[in-house]
Amino acid sequence: MTANFRSMPVIALLTIVSLPLVIMYVFTLVDTFTNTEPGSLVPNEFTTEHWRFLWSPDVGRGSVWVATVNTFIFASTTALIVTSISVTAAYALSRLDFPARRFFLSGIIILHAFPTITLIIAIFLILQWLGLFDTLIGVIIVKTALELPFGIWIMKGFYDTVPWEIEMAGVQDGASRFMVWHKLVLPQVQPGLAALLIFSFLSGWSEFLLPLVLAPGSDSQVLSTYLAYFLLDDSLEVDFNLFKSVGLFYAVPVILIYLVFQKKLMNIYGGGSKG
């Protein structure tokens, strides 16, 4: 249908507006392995010194490896808990009848739309009361709770697409509803389960504000706060090549996961989670 349209002007326009992003991406990659004379744009030597944060611990705040392990624990634990709780709750909301079902459903819709970040002050004080402030466990619990309504909502969407006939047949043959869910429905939503797991993992890996406020100490820091330390501490000398290397190190898992699971994730990103 593009016969009477010329696409070159559109491509040219798109290229111009996309240029800032492309330049950012390219130089983030290039600058981590090269040095450039001040005032020039073309690199003049290859070096690995910008990756020194990997072996010398005094470059950033604390060890990058501790932060990496923390980030992995944080992201994988929240992803696992969110997915496993969502998988039953969403089935209940999608397919089961129980008292006050309407109330729970509307509750989950409201919570899904509700901007959770406004609660951070109250959560900060509650964690101090509970003695969970500045611990990884505290941030994990909070992230899980705030992510849950989204997870349940997404999971409910996947359950909604499973044909009723499958369940009807199971019930007809005398299986209990639990059996039907376990043996017949769960295999049907396997792709959704995987997508939610990956999405929650990425969301945990990228999370910045919760660790910043709720776990500010260097023992429980994650990679986002490790990287933010370079940006937000005014006393540090600005060394963009070093900062970018830390940033790239931090983002590599995200980019790999995204490239591999792109198709699966698109469903969920359509639901939107960032402004």
Partner 1 sequence: MSRISKPRFNWLGLGFLAPAMIVVVLFFLAPVIMTAFFAFTNMSTSTGITGGDYLLSQSDLRSLANTKASAATLDALENAGYRVDDAGLARLAEAQGPATADEFRKLHEGDLFTSRRDMERALKDLRQHRIRSTRDRKLAAELFTSSVMDQRFDTEEAFRAALMTSGIEAADHDTLVDEAYTGWIWTTKNIELLASLSSSWRYAMNTAIYVSFTLAFNVGFGLFLAISTFYLSPRVAATFRTIWFLPRVLPPVLYVLMWYWLTWDTGIISTLAGYFGVAPRNWMLDTGTNAWVVVILINGFVGASLGMILFSSAIKAIPASMLHASEVDGANRWQQVRYIILPQLRWPILFTSSYQTLSLLTSFEYILLATDGGPGGTTEVWALAAYHTALNNYGGNLQYGLGAAYALVLVVIGIVTSLLYLRFFNFRELVSKPRIEQ
Q: Which of residues 99-128 bind partner 1 (CB under 8 A)?
A: 99, 101-102, 104-106, 109-111, 113-126, 128
Contact between 177 and partner 1 (CB under 8 A)? yes
Distance in Å, CB of 104 to partner 1, minimum: 6
Binding string to partner 1 for residues 19 to 48, with x set by CB under 8 A, is what?
-xxxxxx-xx---------xxxx-------
Count CB-CB contacts under 10 A for residue 187.
11
DSSP assigned state of 58: T
Among residues 149, 154, 201, 215, which is the contact residue for partner 1, using CB under 8 A? 149
Query: How would DSSP label each residue in 120-135?
Result: HHHHHHHHHHHT-TTS
63 or 144: CB nearest partner 1:
144
Contact between 131 and partner 1 (CB under 8 A)? no
Contact between 227 and partner 1 (CB under 8 A)? yes
Distance in Å, CB of 187 to partner 1, minimum: 18
Contact between 68 and partner 1 (CB under 8 A)? no
DSSP assigned state of 105: H
- C-alpha 42/C-alpha 30 separation (Å) is 10
Among residues 44, 58, 235, 272, which is the contact residue for partner 1, using CB under 8 A? 272
Among residues 2, 42, 45, 263, which is the contact residue for partner 1, using CB under 8 A? 2
- C-alpha 135/C-alpha 120 separation (Å) is 16
Q: Which of 235, 253, 231, 269 is nearest to 71 (CA)?
A: 253
* Furthest-apart CA atoms within the chain: distance in Å: 77
**Could you tell me which residues are beta bridge partners of residue 46?**
34
Among residues 136, 213, 215, 220, which is the contact residue for partner 1, using CB under 8 A? 213
- C-alpha 20/C-alpha 121 separation (Å) is 36
